[in-house]
């Protein structure tokens, strides 16, 4: 309820606001260009993203973080959508440097996120994140980015079982979240809760969407009281447990089969969010005695991460490669590994140390800038 915004604007006022935003956007872009002049040159920037062919050739996930004083793209305290888990500034995070980095691909420039353009392109359409709390986290970042672009527009909220939506009424755009830890099913049976590696029943709702962004990983290694199932079913066998990476591969393949057989690629764009890294092991960034992200205030420079890629990323790539339909991998793993400074740590309502989720504003705004580029600036690619 807290994120209901119900001020109505006459259409002329709306146009005025849109123009105002456009001008402030342009002037921000200009000041950022100047900031970058020393490094790259204004010509290079302004010629980027011209032809779609050129964009397709660039791997926008290969790059580094650069200081950019025009960031963050919004003030988190002005965003009415942020849960207590992710609202770092509100819960006392004192440093602000982590908000001031822009992702700079090595071989091209990203288009700056333009919320009005995003909403116009998706007018009348539905976009849905499907996954665990990392999806919730990214969904809220996107809502903040869009809200900052149209702060006075009519945004209503709808909660319907496992689906939460924010509806940008003036554009008839649904931005939804479908909560699913594993994408595949857990069913209550006589013996208890069974994780069914071969079963995916929620797809009927998903396939009606125009854009789907899937994610699952966080829960596959959960055990003990945090594990939300008692048995795992693999084909005809019901097991107490099995190799978790193998289970992940099988579950993801069930999802891949569903995409292969059911998604209508003319209607629905499918994106899979790469593995989101956490930062509890300082060995991965050459600080062997560090066991969390609590003292981290700066990103790692450069394009590579000492700890290397998590094993699960190889499973994701393998499984996505078997899908005949176009699926884009939102390959945020390495760029997020470089952001040991991006997590809430203890700056959340619960004071627990969280080096898994991400502060909003923050790193996931970049995920959404990449999502924007992937949706509207990349040619549909075959996988």
Ligand X SMILES: *[C@@H]1O[C@H](CO)[C@@H](O)[C@H](O)[C@H]1NC(C)=O
Residues near ligand X (CB under 6 A) are 6, 8, 59, 62, 106-107, 154, 156, 169, 253, 256-257, 260, 281, 283-284, 289, 292, 294-295, 303, 307, 322-324
Q: Which of residues 67 and 221 has its CB atom nearest to ligand X in the complex? A: 221
Contact (Cβ atoms closer than 8 angstroms) between residue 354 and residue 344 = yes
State whether the Cα torsion 368-369-375-380 is positive or negative.
negative
Question: Whose CA is closest to 293, among 308, 282, 306, 277?
Answer: 282
Q: 59 pairs with which residues across the strands? A: none
Annotated catalytic residue, options 147, 279, 328, 357: 357
Q: 302 pairs with which residues across the strands? A: none
Q: Could you tell me the smallest distance in angstroms from the CB atom of residue 325 to ligand X?
A: 8
Backbone angles phi, psi at 178, to 5 degrees: -110, 115
Backbone angles phi, psi at 187, to 5 degrees: -120, 145
Q: How many CB atoms lie within 10 A of CB 17?
A: 17
Q: Could you tell me the smallest distance in angstroms from the CB atom of residue 16 to ligand X?
A: 17
Tokens representing 209?
A: 């969407």
Q: Could you tell me the smallest distance in angstroms from the CB atom of residue 242 to ligand X?
A: 20
Q: Could you tell me the smallest distance in angstroms from the CB atom of residue 198 to ligand X?
A: 12
Q: Which residue is closest to ligand X by CB?
A: 294
Q: Which of residues 108 and 195 has its CB atom nearest to ligand X in the complex? A: 108
Q: Is 114 a catalytic residue?
A: no
Q: Is 188 exposed, middle or buried (CB count within 10 Å of its CB: 0-12, 13-18, 19+)? A: exposed
Q: Is 176 a catalytic residue?
A: no
Label residue 124 left, alpha or beta by phi (over 0 means left) and psi (-120 to 50 means alpha): left
Q: Which of residues 53 and 289 has its CB atom nearest to ligand X in the complex? A: 289
Q: How far is CA 322 from the centre of its chain?
A: 23
Annotated catalytic residue, options 76, 133, 278, 346: 133
Q: Which of residues 335 and 360 has its CB atom nearest to ligand X in the complex? A: 335
Q: Is 264 a catalytic residue?
A: no
Q: Which of residues 89 and 355 has its CB atom nearest to ligand X in the complex? A: 355
Q: Could you tell me the smallest distance in angstroms from the CB atom of residue 361 to ligand X?
A: 22
Tell me the catalytic residues: 133, 354, 357
């Amino acid at each position: 309820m807290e994120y209901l915004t119900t001020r109505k604007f006459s259409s002329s006022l709306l146009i005025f606001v849109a123009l105002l935003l456009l001008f402030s956007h342009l002037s921000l872009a200009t000041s950022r260009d100047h900031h970058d002049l020393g490094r790259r040159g204004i010509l290079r920037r302004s010629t980027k993203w011209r032809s779609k062919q050129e964009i397709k050739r660039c791997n926008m996930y290969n790059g580094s973080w650069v200081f950019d004083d025009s960031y963050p793209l919004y003030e988190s305290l002005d965003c009415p959508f942020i849960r207590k888990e992710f609202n770092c500034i509100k819960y006392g995070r004192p440093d602000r440097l982590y908000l001031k980095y822009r992702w700079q691909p090595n071989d091209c420039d990203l288009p700056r996120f333009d919320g009005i353009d995003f909403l116009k392109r998706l007018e009348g359409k539905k976009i849905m994140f499907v996954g665990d709390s990392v999806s919730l986290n990214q969904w809220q970042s996107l809502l903040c980015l869009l809200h900052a672009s149209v702060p006075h527009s009519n945004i209503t909220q709808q909660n319907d079982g496992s689906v939460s939506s924010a509806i940008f009424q003036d554009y008839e755009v649904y931005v939804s979240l479908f909560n699913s830890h594993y994408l595949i099913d857990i069913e209550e049976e006589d013996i208890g809760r069974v994780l069914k590696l071969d079963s995916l029943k929620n797809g009927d709702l998903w396939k009606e969407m125009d854009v789907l962004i899937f994610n699952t990983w966080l829960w596959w290694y959960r055990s003990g009281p945090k594990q939300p199932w008692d048995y795992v079913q693999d084909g005809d066998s019901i097991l107490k447990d099995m190799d978790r990476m193998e289970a992940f591969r099988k579950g993801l393949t069930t999802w891949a089969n569903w995409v292969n057989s059911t998604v209508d690629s003319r209607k629905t764009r499918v994106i899979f969010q790469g593995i989101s890294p956490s930062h509890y092991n300082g060995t991965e960034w050459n600080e062997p005695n560090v066991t969390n992200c609590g003292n981290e205030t700066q990103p790692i420079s450069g394009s590579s991460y000492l700890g290397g890629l998590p094993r699960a990323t190889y499973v994701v790539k393998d499984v996505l490669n078997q899908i005949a339909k176009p699926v884009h991998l939102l390959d945020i793993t390495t760029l997020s590994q470089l952001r040991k400074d991006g997590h809430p740590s203890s700056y959340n309502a619960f004071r627990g140390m969280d080096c898994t989720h991400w502060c909003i504003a923050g790193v996931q705004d970049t995920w959404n800038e990449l999502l924007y580029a992937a949706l509207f600036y990349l040619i549909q690619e075959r996988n």
